[in-house]
């Protein structure tokens, strides 16, 4: 699964790849290799296929136990970052500094909490109420 196993030398690009795999595991709630992925497929190929397929498939890849989360869009963004980290061509992978920047940009605005998200939803519900 890890590139280190194939190349026998550790590099920062291998570290980025491994981080991408861990990020995929966290966002999907899945192990690196599962029967659902099919023969010769792993979490990297499975997630990459979902992300390439678009928004509906991306959300479908997220951990079902987190269906209640108000941060689904941020989780989808994290999957997109993970796909970039696991690019098959090491030279095209971002640096860890770039990964940190992308994840920071994908996160909720500074100071936003789950309560804020619920309040936003409540406000929208009130604006659409019939008189």
Q: Which helix H or strand E contains 37, and what residues bound it? A: none
Q: Is 62 helix (H, G, I), strand (E, B) or coil?
A: coil
The domain limits of the chain are: 3-127
pLDDT category of residue 10 using cuts at 50, 70 and 90: low
What's the mean pLDDT in 22-46? 91
107's tokens = 């996160």
Nearest to 50 by CA among 36, 66, 65: 36
Whether the CB-CB separation of 14 and 95 falls below 8 Å is answered with: no
| Most distant CA atoms of the chain, gap in Å | 68
The model's confidence at residue 45, banded by pLDDT at 50, 70 and 90, is: very high
Query: Helix, strand, or coil here: 16?
Result: helix
pTM of the full predicted structure?
A: 0.75
Predicted confidence at residue 36, as pLDDT, reads 85
- pLDDT tens-digit series, residues 82-127: 999 999 999 999 999 999 999 999 887 766 565 555 555 444 444 4
The topology (CATH level 3) of 3-127 is Transferase(Phosphotransferase); domain 1 (1.10.510)
């Amino acid at each position: 699964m890890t590139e280190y196993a194939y190349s026998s030398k550790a590099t920062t690009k291998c570290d980025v790849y491994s981080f991408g795999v861990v990020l995929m595991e966290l966002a999907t709630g899945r192990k690196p290799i599962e029967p659902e992925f099919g023969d010769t497929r792993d979490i990297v190929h499975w997630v990459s296929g979902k992300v390439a397929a678009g928004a509906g498939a991306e959300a479908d890849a997220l951990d079902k136990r987190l269906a209640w989360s108000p941060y689904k869009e941020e989780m989808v963004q994290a999957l997109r970052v993970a796909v970039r980290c696991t690019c098959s061509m090491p030279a095209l992978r971002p640096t860890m500094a770039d990964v940190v920047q992308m994840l920071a940009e994908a996160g909720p605005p500074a100071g936003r909490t789950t309560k804020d998200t619920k309040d936003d939803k409540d406000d929208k519900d009130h604006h659409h109420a019939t008189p």
